[in-house]
Amino acid sequence: MLIELKDIKKYYHLGDQTIKAIDDVSFTVEKGEFVSIIGPSGSGKSTLMNILGLLDVPDSGKYLLDGLEISKAKEKELATIRNKKIGFIFQNFNLLGKLTAVENIQVPLIYNNENNNQSKQRAIELMKKVDLEGRENHIPSQLSGGQQQRVAIARALANQPEIILADEPTGALDSKTSQDIMKLLTELNENGQTIILITHDMNVAKKAKRIVKISDGKLYE
């Protein structure tokens, strides 16, 4: 079991109102799975994703990632896990605007103590893998949305993470580009990559082997 969530809760308190963003969620993911989580806006998808990606901490519950209990890990260990075991793909790409495509892909490699030549070599390979040869030295503002998302996917793959977490990766793209990106993710999964994908678009969700529904912070298989 790669991921195991047990009774995870995340509530937000706004004045005297309590928003149950994640309400008693238990959920497991095996190695090699391609899971999509689908739900309407405000249902708690991003909150769940941020907890899975160690960017946010739940109020209560247990989270085991690759056998390690996350609530017991120190800040430094969390950073290492984010770096090595998790690859993030965001709806708005979140590339670093001043860095070139290759330099963006190098970022997680350098935080993993790889030297410049090695990491550059690997970044160039990854650019090929996501079909962006020739765009190595372009900065994000010189790339289209679809191209930026490919760079982001390449970056997510850089340290060969156990799991890819994609939060609405096609949310900012047109349908043709979305299909390309989904094709890329499907290929990755066929080669054994575990992927959890969040979307509110059923057409996108259907590309995954397993679909989980979320509404009002609760999961339904």
Ligand X SMILES: Nc1ncnc2c1ncn2[C@@H]1O[C@H](COP(=O)(O)OP(=O)(O)OP(=O)(O)O)[C@@H](O)[C@H]1O
Instruction: Say how many residues make up the chain.
Output: 221
Q: How far is CA 173 from the centre of its chain?
A: 17
Q: How far is the CB of 149 from ligand X (least distance, A)?
A: 17
Cα three-residue angle 48-202-40, rounded to 5 degrees: 45
Task: By CB under 5 A, tell whether 36 contacts Mg ion.
Answer: no
- CB 89 within 8 Å of CB 153: yes
Which is closer to Mg ion, CB of 208 or CB of 214? 214
Q: How far is the CB of 61 from ligand X (least distance, A)?
A: 16
Contact partner at residue 115 from ligand X, another protein, Mg ion, none, CB < 5 to 8 Å by partner kind: another protein
Q: Around Cβ 30, how many Cβ atoms within 10 Å?
A: 11
Residue number, nearest CB to Mg ion: 46
Task: By CB under 6 A, tell whether 36 contacts ligand X.
Answer: no
Rounded to whole angstroms, how far apart are CA atoms 36 and 102?
A: 29
Backbone angles phi, psi at 62, to 5 degrees: -120, 135
Task: By CB under 5 A, tell whether 148 contacts Mg ion.
Answer: no
Q: How far is the CB of 195 from ligand X (least distance, A)?
A: 18
Contact partner at residue 111 from another protein, Mg ion, ligand X, none, CB < 5 to 8 Å by partner kind: another protein
Task: By CB under 8 A, tell whether 94 contacts another protein.
Answer: yes
Task: By CB under 8 A, tell whether 149 contacts another protein.
Answer: no
Tell me the three state secondary structure of residue 168: coil
Rounded to whole angstroms, how far apart are CA atoms 167 and 184?
A: 15
Binding-site member from 13, 72, 76, 176 for another protein (CB under 8 A): 76
Task: By CB under 8 A, tell whether 111 contacts another protein.
Answer: yes
Q: Around Cβ 123, how many Cβ atoms within 10 Å?
A: 25
Task: By CB under 8 A, tell whether 14 contacts another protein.
Answer: no
- CB 145 within 8 Å of CB 177: yes
Structural element, H or E, at residue 77: helix 75-84
Contact partner at residue 202 from ligand X, Mg ion, another protein, none, CB < 5 to 8 Å by partner kind: none
Q: What residue ranges bind another protein (CB under 8 A)?
A: 50, 53, 55-56, 75-76, 79-80, 82-84, 88, 94-96, 98, 107-108, 110-116, 119, 155, 159
